[in-house]
Amino acid sequence: MEWLQQLINGISLGSIYALIALGYTMVYGIIKLINFAHGEVFMVGSFIGFISISVWGLGFFPALLLSMTACAIFGVLIERIAYKRLRNATRIAALITAIGVSLLIQNGVIYIRGAQPAAYPDVFANTSYNFFGAQISSQAILILSVSVALMLILQFIVHKTKIGKAMRAVSHDAEAAKLMGINVDNIISATFAIGSALAGAAGVIFGVYYTKIDPLMGVIPGVKAFVAAVLGGIGIIPGAMVGGLVLGVVETVVSALGFSLWRDAAAFIILILILIFRPAGIFGKNTREKV
């Protein structure tokens, strides 16, 4: 039953990657920008959750909602201050700006609170349940439940609400959407807000699961979530979910086989293989691009 145990652990880890990957894929789907500051939004969300629980004495769910709200506002500020002026700029200019914003946030947090790591407080009494011989912790159940609920809410917003319909219209053709009376600037801000809120939720869940956080914690999970988004098909929301889960399971299996030092490398090996054999990702379609 060890493999079932590893599969459950992999899905729990993968659900965190999926939540972060959704922010990458939503922003890319709307404005074709890889927001490399997204991992730092995840980190900020984790610290907001930490302060909410340890300093203000809030429970897990109030801390989660507060972190999501704060990160949504933070994401909109990043978009309005750093990216809005670069809508018509070259891809490389936007990419360099995103990396610059990422470094600014990292060093800003280090300046404010120092570089020392912090230990997340125990939010739940961590009990285990036997499932066909595998031991499932209550934390793993909570992480999976919250992650799945947030993904379902996102799917509902995108497919069943007016703002979701506007997002899909802007993603398909921003100029045509503008002619139809859609406020493209507001839709882009809403996309950043939703993606950043999901990253904030992932930050709190990550802190509860791994117990240790620090100002540089967003780098590796952020890059892995980007790999997950590319794996599923960048710009495709279901692809980000599946890509995150696949990546989490692969990492856990690599560790279970005794190659724990290679678990981070596994993500990049997957990225290389995807770019070689299926550049559009699992759910993506190859399209011809006029030059």
**How far apart (Å, rounded) are the C-alpha atoms in residues 283 and 233?**
5
Across the chain, what does the average pLDDT equal? Answer: 87
Mean of pLDDT values over 32-49 = 91
**Nearest C-alpha neighbor of 232 from the set 241, 220, 222, 219:** 241
pLDDT at 120: 87
Number of other residues whose CB lies within 10 A of the CB of residue 52: 21
Give, in order, the Cα–Cα distances in Å from 130 to each of 136, 208, 238.
6, 21, 30
**Nearest C-alpha neighbor of 202 from the set 68, 51, 33, 106:** 68
pLDDT confidence band for 290 (50 / 70 / 90): very low
**How far apart (Å, rounded) are the C-alpha atoms in residues 181 and 172?**
15
pLDDT confidence band for 288 (50 / 70 / 90): low
pLDDT one-digit tens code per residue, 108-117: 999 998 889 9
pTM of the full predicted structure?
0.89
At 64 the three-state DSSP class reads helix
Give the CB-side neighbour count of residue 206, counting CA atoms within 13 A.
31
Q: Is the pLDDT higher at 47 or at 127?
A: 47
Q: What angle do CA 276, 279, 281 make, to 5 degrees?
A: 125
At 72 the three-state DSSP class reads helix
Mean of pLDDT values over 125-145 = 75
**How far apart (Å, rounded) are the C-alpha atoms in residues 41 and 52?**
16
Asked if residue 201 lies in contact with residue 48, where contact means CB atoms within 8 angstroms, the answer is no
**How far apart (Å, rounded) are the C-alpha atoms in residues 266 and 94?**
28
Q: Is the pLDDT of residue 286 over 60?
A: no
Mean of pLDDT values over 214-227 = 90
115: DSSP letter = S
Q: Which residue has the tokens 């600014």?
A: 104
Q: Is the pLDDT of residue 67 over 90?
A: yes
pLDDT confidence band for 20 (50 / 70 / 90): very high
Reading phi first (left if > 0) and then psi (alpha if -120 to 50, else beta), residue 133 is in: left
pLDDT one-digit tens code per residue, 68-86: 999 999 999 999 999 988 8
